[in-house]
Amino acid sequence: MTAVMMTMMAQDAETALFTPSVQWERRNDREALLTVTFAMADNSYIYENQLKVTAPPGVKVISAGGDEPVVQEGEESRVFLGDFTRKYRLQGALTTPLTVAVSFQGCSDGVCMLPETVKFTLGEAAEGQAVVAADPQAEAPAAESDADAWLALAQRFQERGRATGYMDEDAFLAWAEQAEEGIEAEADILRRVFTRYGLLLAALLVIPLGLLLNLTPCVLPMIPINLAIIGAGVKAGGKGHGFRRGGVYGLGMALTYGGLGLLVVLTGSRFGSLNSSPWFNLSVAVIFVILALAMFDVLVIDFSRWRRSSVRDGKGGALGLVGVFALGAVAAVLGGACVAPVLIWVLLLAADLWARGNAVGLVLPFLLGVGMALPWPLLGAGMAKLPRPGAWMEHIKRAMGVLILLVAAYYAWLGVSLFRQPTADAAQTPDGWHTDLVAAMQIAEQTGQPLFLDFWGVTCKSCTAMKATTFKAPAVIEKMQPWVKVAVQADAANSDIIAAVLRHYDVVGLPTYLLLQVKPE
């Protein structure tokens, strides 16, 4: 068959540092040679063990040589320095259009980027003439134009400062002063411990840092509900029973929270992105309604037994430790809506370790989950010390039922709001702020003003708190007066441009703040 050659350049914004292209030579219906070429920015490299090419089921990808990686001082994996080419044999059912994915991770100027995947669609014309096949994941022409405009502007800005999580007025002003002066923020405590004392002590420090996650605004209001779930039947079973139930609840939290962090490290996704799903929030609302009905004795949910029975006192069934584990997992996912600074510290260190070939980085998110889960076995055992049940317990149950219904109503409202595709309208955006990122960057470039980006989300409680308190403080308003301020809604999941922006600026959680400045000529 006539050889068919096709080259396709990546359109994603992340590829400004690492720009892959593919070229394929089709030899027959079941074999082709794929050439992957990377154009690299200065002082950039890609890890050998993070470069992968995948094809649809039925097509085998076999390495066929190319430029060889080299040993880089300080790196555990070999790396590709400068522009390079790798070749792969494709064997199998090569029906067109054929989609291949190139996954990679690298570093530039000492900063390691999150993992990236670029997809290419390969095809051919009727008479063996090469064409660029339509990519089903490509953006619409208007979106491509916006992305190109944004990328061109982004290359003309440099980062002056970065912060995450809720900051009160004093903390924000102190950060703003440092950012304006271009003073690099002091490394976080976890990074300092890692640099000075090594990985073992840094890993052990992650556990008590995880304990602090129980004080975030997403977890703290859930504590009474958690205690109600753990405490059911504890009085009759004693401290051992309460410790076991608290341990199972904590295990569900630890594994789920660690799994979410692992997903961020491996894929570069944003922590807590599941909370942006309307269906997830509505599902949580339904769960809480069921729990509230149990508090009012409309349903009977007995968490004190492992087994499930079909009828109990004529009112439904019984749910045991499996249900407690599942509710612990739900609590961990809900806690993901609040991204505390300690979480960012752990995720950044974990991603850096994994990028350098150290698998311990994959364990750190789970250690954070262990710290988050530590109090619950002890609290479960302590429930056995409560006074004997009586009329007072019925009043407590009713109060808890009302509280749980309010929480259910909140998550139902979030779900409905997300179905309406909320945007950063006037009611959600402080006065004097922009919502069009490209337009704001153009203004900042023309005037030379600092550009402030606030990455926020509908389900982010810390984001809401910042708008209600810190961003309304007179001193903060005055400080930001010379800035061009942009509210970037990061949970606009249907926007490919927003996804590219998040990857370009390595935004792994909300809220995240960046202060940018036009690069000097």
Complete DSSP assignment for 118-159? EEEEE-B-TTS-B--PPPTTPPPHHHHHHHHHHHHHHTTEEE
Of residues 514 and 233, more confidence is placed in 514
249 and 330 assigned to the same domain: yes
* pLDDT of amino acid 242: 75
Cis link prior to 57 (omega < 30° from 0)? no
What confidence tens digit (pLDDT) does each residue in 242-252 have?
788 888 888 98
The pTM for the full model equals 0.53
164 and 202 assigned to the same domain: no
- Report yes or no on 41 lying in a domain: yes
Of residues 343 and 447, more confidence is placed in 447
360 and 256 assigned to the same domain: yes
- Report yes or no on 148 lying in a domain: no
* pLDDT of amino acid 217: 66
* pLDDT of amino acid 148: 64
Q: Which of 419, 436, 465 is the last residue of a domain?
A: 419
Give the pLDDT band (50/70/90) at residue 275: low
14 and 26 assigned to the same domain: yes
- Report yes or no on 146 lying in a domain: no
Provide the domain limits for residue 207. Answer: 189-419
pLDDT at 172 exceeding the cut of 80? yes
Question: What is the rounded radius of gyration, in angstroms, for the C-alpha atoms of the chain?
Answer: 26
- Report yes or no on 384 lying in a domain: yes
210 and 327 assigned to the same domain: yes
Tokens of 261: 């962090």
Strands 31-40 and 18-28: antiparallel
* pLDDT of amino acid 471: 93
CA separation for the pair 372, 368 (Å, rounded): 6
- CATH number of 432's domain: 3.40.30.10
203 and 97 assigned to the same domain: no
CA separation for the pair 473, 481 (Å, rounded): 12
% of the chain beyond a pLDDT of 70: 73
Can you tell me the mean pLDDT for 229-252?
72
What confidence tens digit (pLDDT) does each residue in 448-478 have?
999 999 998 776 777 888 988 999 999 999 9
* pLDDT of amino acid 165: 81
* pLDDT of amino acid 354: 81
What confidence tens digit (pLDDT) does each residue in 330-353 have?
878 777 666 567 777 788 788 778
Strands 52-54 and 98-104: antiparallel
Number of domains in the chain: 3
Please name the residues in contact with 140: beta carbons below 8 A apart, sequence gap of 6 or more: none
